[in-house]
A and B are shown apart, each in its own frame.
Chain A
Amino acid sequence: MDTQIFSILLEDGIASGAIYALLALTMVLVFATTRILFVSQGEFVTFSGLSFASFQLGIAPQIVWLLAVLALVVTALEVVSALRLGQGKRVPWLVAIHLALPLAVVGACLWLAPLKPPVLVQAALSVALVTALGPAVYRLAFEPVANASVRTLFVIAIALHFILQGFGLLFFGAEGYRVDPLIDLDVSLGATVLKGQAMLVLATLAVLTAALYVFFEYTLLGKALRATAINRIGARIVGIKTPLAGRIAFTMSAFIGAIAGILAVGSTTLYYDSGFLIGLKAVLGAICGAMLSYPLAIAGAIGVGILETFSAFWVSAYTEAVVFSALIPVLLWLSLYAMPSEEGQEL
């Protein structure tokens, strides 16, 4: 292998790794605030990427109907529970946030899609669509059992993966989609060519990481989320509601996943079932940071991307086997430092 090939592989590995890193970030965020190992996050990536591709063909993605139905169910549940608690005054607010907002997104998608708006508007619509799914999914699948064991929550996340992937097949079909890169600009740098799209992914990663840092360090909401992560019961006592923390975490998770989807579909073909492997590789990255550390999760995820590219170069038929076996030494290393967990519950 010469240096040129090495540098191309490295660039490619980092570019894939940056996508995993985006997801690994939110993996850590969601785990810290809700204790959910959210393996189905990859589905947000495919939903957004495939919706984006659908908009480019001038068709509103059918997934809007899923959002509409979920919004109706969530609103019904919220309104009923508010009325039961005698908080009738909150009903208009609940309807606005749980129903009107998602339906506005649905409406915008249906209205704008045939008009073929500018690419950035299409991307924004796709991101809005998927972001709105995040809190709804949390509300229905996780919130009622927010205090269950890590294991139970993990199993729900896996079941959710099957459900969302099933909807993916239903709404987007089995064929793959791909769009033109958002930036079709290649910069020659010595012997290697830097792909514009790869640069865009890295820049997004940097910006989102910085934004998350500012959010957690300098905003009240961010501090509240951190407090929840450190001590759920304590946070509840001082007035931060766990459900709220969960919904915010899932909104952010869906938002970042959606952005990753827009970026991914510009550099590769996405399928209805692409999300699972992408999500699992992000989990591998997040595990490197023991599901706690954001910088280590990013480093781990980029490491996964690089490992993947290099093993595809040397033993392409075994790529996944190599990537997932690399998990074992990482876990072993972690286990030397891990204390027995508090988790005493059976599944």
Chain B
Amino acid sequence: MSVRALIVAAALLLIGPWLLPPFYITLANYVGLASIVVLGLVLLGGAGGLMSFGQAAFVGIGAYTTAYLSIAYNLSPWLSLFVGLAVTGGAALLLGALTLRLTGHYLPIGTLGWSVSIYYVFANIEALGKHDGLSDIPPLTAFGFSLQSSNAFFYLIWIVALLALVSINNILDSRFGRAVRSGGRTTPMAEALGVNTARVSMTIFIYCALLASVSGWLYAHFMRFVNPTPFGLGTSIEYFFMAVIGGATSAWGAIVGAGFYIIGKQWLQTLIPAFTGRVGQYDVIVFGLIVIAILHYARQGLVPSLALLLPRKAGGRVAHHVVGSAEPLAHRDKPQPGTKLLQIDRMEKRFGGLAAVNGVSFDIQAGEIMALIGPNGAGKTTMFNLITGVIPKTAGRISFAGHSLDGLGSRQVMERGITRTFQHALLRPHMSVLENVALGAHTRGRSGLIAAALRLERKEEARLLAEAKKQLERVGLGDQFDAAADSLPLGKQRLIEIARALASDPLLLLLDEPAAGLRYEEKVALAKLLDNLRTEGMTLLLVEHDMDFVMNLVDRVVVMDFGEKIAEGKPDEIQTNPKVIEAYLGSVDECSPLKHAV
């Protein structure tokens, strides 16, 4: 992110109270309080793809905890902040364990239910003052000063808000942040690259609950009064709208969204009656219309949409990290060429009564390129998914470098040295080419959210990015690391995917139709790249339809048809194998690719 923008923001903050009339200080305080919550939604929703309608409830937990403790037990608010964080963290952990397993529209509905429920819990607990809530909450004091005035609070709230902003920006721009932005459970890619998606989801869910809790703590001591109303579903939806308006993919969007919503609402209240003579009944309609208009015409929200209008500066957010030489990452020792690397023994997969893969066995030797071919529906991709643990097998054994892979999930298989690419290049569209490739090196780093937020992982980060840059250079895209991944043509996207797989330092590389959709020159370049990898000691297994490509490149071929292996051998043996010719010519697939090759 732009350090300049941050400095300007900090400067504005410093002079704010002199510049703004008192009422706008108050408004700015509320904008700041909301921004802290909405920043959490940027991480959770905009980056992590999770949708929560429960943030106001976490604000409530923070607010009620400090209110109760500082009134009933005279506890210092600075201590009750941490109690509030602990309670919120616990609640988020529990709620997350229950709802984060759910995908798609179930998560928002689940958090929505929680939001409605917790309101009635606040409103019915005697010690929390029931519906009336708690008043006369002591003001904050620091170093003997009482932070009671709006101005004093302005600094406190905005320091926290800016710290939250910096932390979110730091997190997004880190190893952990790439994992957050990897698409989580919505795509098989994240787990296949070693991202523990369940853990990442839980971590960001808790972090954004904690941000909400801090906002609640500030709210309680700023208002010095809490009651259940501001912690119900309605407010959670408002936070969500702020994120949508400002732009949930940008941390600055959180602040702009909160400002737009809160200031706009206050403004409309006095503006609308001037035209209609009616108070309070139009602003909710107008804001609803604004949200819909934004989703229709600027779905990314205000900040990202406006940012598109600004000239993009050369060199993106990561450019400067790569400058300078970082210590290279440790890598695995390659196995002795010719030894058996992967052994597949009578593999079987049934979907209901249908056998997609039926008793297939073959071995792959270290240092060779093997191709898995067959007509459409032969079970090649299923085979890939079985090897990489994306789907569980029905029967059979599989071992890799002497260790069994039976029962392992996609992430564990990857950690043992097998990395794959996907039929449709699964790149993250909002990440740069370099970030996409660095995602591949995920398992070669350790740092998590806290280290990222505090920037304690810069050394490791530099090594990861240097590795990513190295792999990009290896596939010939060294000069395009800063482009947006989805702006490149398909051929290059495939190369990026291969670079990403290479960044994970695999022993065995599985490529799912790497040549599909490539132009002739691109195919030649790809073949050359794969040949080079073989020379460097890499083992490759590819599923491919393009027979010219396969036959001129690979060492051995396995042919599948209707879920069974029908042939195995050197390319020239396969091309003359009558069973193979029968399978291709007899198939309904009219554009059988073997026709050209045979």
Contact = CB atoms under 8 A, between A and B. Distances in A.
B contact patch SS: helix
A342 B426 CA distance: 13
Given A141-B292, A324-B116, A344-B186, A332 B285 contact: no
Contact of A347 (B51, B119, B121, B287): B51
B282 A166 contact: yes
Contacts of B387: none
A321 B116 contact: yes
B99 A328 contact: yes
A276 to B, nearest CB: 9
B186 A340 contact: yes
B101 interface: yes
Interface string B36-62: 000000000111010100000000000
Contacts of B285: 162-163, 166-167, 170
A291 interface: yes
Nearest to A150: B105
B302 to A, nearest CB: 14
A341 B103 contact: yes
Given A152-B299, A166-B281, A340 B244 contact: no
B109 A338 contact: no
Nearest to B290: A159
The interface size bin for chain A is: 35 or more
B223 interface: no
Given A327-B110, A347-B51, A159 B291 contact: yes
Interface in A300-343: 317-322, 324-325, 327-328, 331-332, 334-335, 338, 340-343
A151 B249 CA distance: 14
The interface size bin for chain B is: 35 or more
A contact patch SS: helix
Contacts of B121: 318, 321
A154 interface: yes
Contacts of B537: none
Given A155-B291, A340-B186, A328 B110 contact: yes
Interface in B310-327: none
Interface string B17-51: 00000000000000000000000000001110101
A346 B105 contact: no
Contact of B117 (A145, A158, A320): A320
A169 interface: yes
Nearest to A334: B106
Interface in B113-161: 113-114, 116-121, 123-124
A20 B141 CA distance: 51
A155 B104 contact: no
B222 interface: no
User: Which of A159, A170, A317, A331 gathers most chain B CB within 10 Å?
Assistant: A159
B109 A331 contact: yes
A341 B188 CA distance: 10
Given A150-B105, A160-B292, A165 B46 contact: no
Interface in A235-292: 280, 283-284, 287, 291
Nearest to A155: B244
Contacts of A287: 106, 109
A190 interface: no
Contacts of A331: 98-99, 102, 106, 109-110
Contact of B98 (A319, A328, A342): A328
Contact of B299 (A148, A325, A335, A341): A148
A325 to B, nearest CB: 5
A156 interface: yes
B113 A328 contact: yes
Contacts of A283: 109
Nearest to B280: A169
A160 B237 CA distance: 12
Contact of A162 (B101, B113, B288): B288
Nearest to A319: B120
Given A324-B116, A325-B117, A338-B102, A163 B108 contact: no
Given A144-B296, A156-B291, 6 more contacts: A151-B105, A156-B295, A291-B105, A338-B106, A340-B185, A346-B49
